[in-house]
Amino acid sequence: MIHVFNKCLKCNSEKYELKTIAFPTKATGEVKFSMDIYYLKICSDCGFTEMYSAKVFEKNEKPAVEF
């Protein structure tokens, strides 16, 4: 699994739940559509949720935060 996520931005807790979600995306002018994968990091203590794009995440060492 992924171990590079930082502590909760809100309460500094290290406990979190990780979920993977997929959104269908359709580029403008294209007929075919694809799925974009995102990681949801949900703080177990305060519920604060961070969302990471798997595409960006797999490219970089550190995840880029997307809201």
The residues of the shown chain that bind Zn ion, judged by CB under 5 A, are: 8, 10-11, 13, 43, 45-46, 48
- Supply the minimum distance, in Å, between the C-beta of residue 46 and Zn ion: 3
* Cβ-based nearer residue to Zn ion, 37 or 51: 51
- Supply the minimum distance, in Å, between the C-beta of residue 33 and Zn ion: 34
* Cβ-based nearer residue to Zn ion, 35 or 46: 46
Q: 36: which DSSP letter?
A: E
Alpha helices of 1-67 — where are they, by DSSP H? 54-59
- Rounded to whole angstroms, the Cα distance separating 39 from 34 reads 17
